[in-house]
Amino acid sequence: MTTTWVGATAKQIARAVRRGDASATQVVADHLEQIAISDPELGAFRVVRGVEAITEAEKVDDQEDLANLPLAGVPVAVKENTAVAGLPTWHGSAAARTPEVAEEDHEVVRRLRGAGAVVVGVTKMPEMGLWATSDDASGAARNPWDLERTPGGSSGGSAAAVAAGLVPIAQGNDGLGSIRIPAACCGLVGLKPGRGVVPVDFGDKDWFGLVENGVLTSTVADAALGFSVLAGLTPQTLKEPGRLRVGISLRSPVAGVKPDEPNVGAVTTASKLLTAAGHDTVTADPTYPAGVALGVLATWFAGAYVNSEGLPVEDLQPRTRRHIALGKAAMRAGLVRQSQRDAWRERCIRFFADRSIDLLLTPALATAPPPAVLYSGISWWKNMQANAAYAPYQAPWNYSGLPAIVVPVGSRPDGLPLAVQLVGPPDSEMLLLAVAGQFELQNPWQRQNLV
């Protein structure tokens, strides 16, 4: 008999609650207890909604018909830049925090709750979501696999919470890799949907359309379930994909950055798994033009500038202020161009057609996750170097608006997770999940590491 629901998947919890084998109240209480034990050291949460979450779980238990709730009683965490009714929206810092509490949930939170999920808290991120590490003056979120390492960013708190078993599923968002980078750091499944598939509705805070909402989970089945809920789709069992032709590329989008030996090995492992599943693989290196790199940087900088409107800029971190100044310059120089993004998207779509490939496989990271130090107190340039050196592979696919997923494939010699990235053409989210499921079936990973 189950004594605690900590460590159970979202699908297992929802099935048990729907059947009456467990109560949402007990499930949520178990996870709140684990949060109280683990999070003081882990630093994943900004706010924990203890009493409120229990009250909401009781309401789930009181519903007469749970059959149509795919996430019945499932504890979830929400990234702190996403509105949760009754809470302010922090955006990663006291200076960027929305002073008033949100009157209503963001649409993705509304959909999670509508599916029966219970929000147990909001998770930490770097200031304004700008970085691939998650810390502020109060401390750093830490990686459950090695507390001296970062869980990534900007959805680092969400990733740490799932990898430590504090919740089975967490919402995140991805502007230049902010779901996929933490997923890779923490041994999770992280899907960035394609453009327009899941509601964003952040107004000016979506970095000119680079940002997509998604979930982080420890299993592919949970990732498919969470994606379906956020996309407003009826959850369905993943179908076995037919024989695919998958391009393999180690080429880094950042000049001078190459994957280390363990990450090269991760791609080799994934390639073998694809072949064992009946797929064909072929070398297929995308070309990453310098103009596209400049466009990505300009849009990233300009996103910070636009998002800083009305904020006490002098109270923001020095690295953020530098980003804002560069964004202002990029806007004045006309470097943020939708036409360039549209052209890059079309070029990426043609890449799949011209190479006759269905998906592209790349490393997820170039190195191990960096140390969990206070990057918020380090210079802008050192932050830029640290981000580019370890996580160069994600940004082009935000700029193109194409879907991409990170999936674990093993461990580094030091025990930290290894992962790969799969990228697909428009509307290939379910195909990406199906192939990730084949990886999981052939090469299961350790799902969590309780702190």
pLDDT tens track for 161-181 = 999 999 999 999 999 999 999
Q: CA-CA distances (angstroms) from residue 288 to 226, 228, 254, 295? A: 32, 32, 8, 11
Residues in CB range of 251: below 8 A, 6 or more apart:
285, 286, 288, 362
Q: pLDDT at residue 446 above 50? A: yes
Q: Do the Cβ atoms of 82 and 175 come closer than 8 Å?
A: no
pLDDT reported for residue 1: 45
Q: Which two tokens stand for residue 402?
A: 């194409």
Q: For 323-353, write each residue's pLDDT tens digit.
A: 999 999 999 999 999 999 999 999 999 999 9
pLDDT reported for residue 355: 97
Radius of gyration over every alpha carbon of the chain, rounded to an integer in angstroms: 20
Bridge-based pairing of strands 118-123 and 135-136 is unpaired
Q: Do the Cβ atoms of 137 and 351 come closer than 8 Å?
A: no
Q: pLDDT at residue 203 above 80? A: no
pLDDT reported for residue 3: 85
Between helix 380-390 and helix 318-332 the angle, nearest 10°, is 80
Q: For 416-441, write each residue's pLDDT tens digit.
A: 999 999 999 999 999 999 999 999 99
Q: Do the Cβ atoms of 128 and 304 come closer than 8 Å?
A: yes
Strand-pairing partners, residue 423, are 360, 404
Q: For 217-226, write each residue's pLDDT tens digit.
A: 999 999 999 9
Q: Do the Cβ atoms of 61 and 23 come closer than 8 Å?
A: yes
Q: For 301-313, write each residue's pLDDT tens digit.
A: 999 999 999 999 9
Which region, left, alpha or beta, applies to residue 347 given φ > 0 means left and ψ of -120 to 50 means alpha?
Answer: alpha
pTM, to two decimals: 0.98
Q: What percent of the chain has pLDDT over 70?
A: 99
List of domains in the chain? 10-280+357-442 (3.90.1300.10)
Indicate the range of 38-52, 109-123, 200-214, 237-251 predicted with least confidence: 200-214
Q: pLDDT at residue 369 above 60? A: yes
pLDDT reported for residue 213: 98
Q: Do the Cβ atoms of 142 and 149 come closer than 8 Å?
A: yes
How far apart are alpha carbons 191 and 209 in whole angstroms?
17
Between helix 338-354 and helix 290-307 the angle, nearest 10°, is 140
pLDDT reported for residue 391: 98
Strand-pairing partners, residue 247, are 282, 360
Q: CA-CA distances (angstroms) from residue 206 to 132, 201, 301? A: 16, 8, 12
- Mean pLDDT score of the chain: 97
Q: Which residues are catalytic?
A: 79, 154, 178
pLDDT reported for residue 193: 98
Average pLDDT over residues 373-391: 96
pLDDT reported for residue 137: 87
Q: pLDDT at residue 2 above 60? A: no
Strand-pairing partners, residue 363, are 420
Query: Amino acid identity of 24?
Result: A
Average pLDDT over residues 36-44: 98
